[in-house]
Amino acid sequence: MSYTDKMLRDDALKGKVIVVTGGGSGLGKAMTKYFLELGAQVAITSRDLEKLKTTAAELESETGGKCLPLQCDVRHYEKVENMLQETLKVFGKVDVLLNNAAGNFISPTERLSANAFDTVIDIVLKGSKNCTLAFGKHWIDTKQTSATILNIVTTYAWTGSAYVVPSATAKAGVLAMTRSLAVEWAKYGIRSNAIAPGPFPTKGAWDRLLPGDLSEKFDMAKKVPLKRVGDHQELANLAAYLVSDFSAYVNGDVITIDGGEWLKGAGQFNLLEAIPEELWDQLEMMIKAKKNK
């Protein structure tokens, strides 16, 4: 057996309907694929409908499951409500909400505009709040007896981290919401948990965070005691367990999956202290160039 192998048995999620925000690519796509393989029906959401359609078609072809692409900007509550209603129209119910949509970029905080700070806060914290509130109200109003919220946070949600202050601020808020609702909503049969991943590089997100040759200069694997980054299937395995009935007694927890990284040195991006001012200028230009393409 290997850490890249699939963990749960066939049909472990059969009959479940799962909504994955930010499900069109990266880790959201990896988790969605495994959910489908385990028998779940999945709705994936993001702002990019064309990417969602492509991903849904690809995953349906690979797994034989049903994947519903739904455009949704989680920053707006009314759009989240519409997305929920569209999911209910197609699948008839929702059992799991996976708050995975995120935004992040590295920068000295004094270089950030108020709008740049707000962009990350709005997607990560406000977006997770919007989805959690809409889905939670639905489950409570309809007296659904069992439901699960799973939030993707990060280890610097509790340690903080330099150079990603908006993300650290937002993720800390999501973690507090996770723990708070685990207590408050348990009486409704709603479990609330979180996963705090360490480095799990994805093509899109990590290219934006560390463009050019920066990913080679700042090799995240060197900070991990196990001397490697995470494999997407490892995260998918953990997520599938936490949304399955096998984890029915797990509530209000945050599970770290980072190879021991945060214990070795809190603050995933603190190593960026080594970047000189002129390199920050180059980094900003590379990020802006990618944005304008």
What is the set of active-site residues? Answer: 156
Which residue's structure tokens are 């090799």?
219
CA distances from 202 to 146, 148, 155, 277 (A): 32, 26, 17, 27
Angle of helix 127-141 relative to helix 77-91, nearest 10 degrees?
50
Q: Angle at CA 17, nearest 5°, toward 143 and 230?
A: 125
CA distances from 228 to 30, 106, 146, 265 (A): 19, 22, 37, 15
Q: Show the beta-strand stretches assigned E in the chain.
A: 17-21, 41-46, 67-71, 96-99, 147-152, 190-197, 254-257
State how far the Cα of 52 lies from the Cα of 68, in Å rounded to an integer: 9
State how far the Cα of 194 lies from the Cα of 150, in Å rounded to an integer: 5
Q: Angle at CA 228, nearest 5°, toward 199 and 173?
A: 20
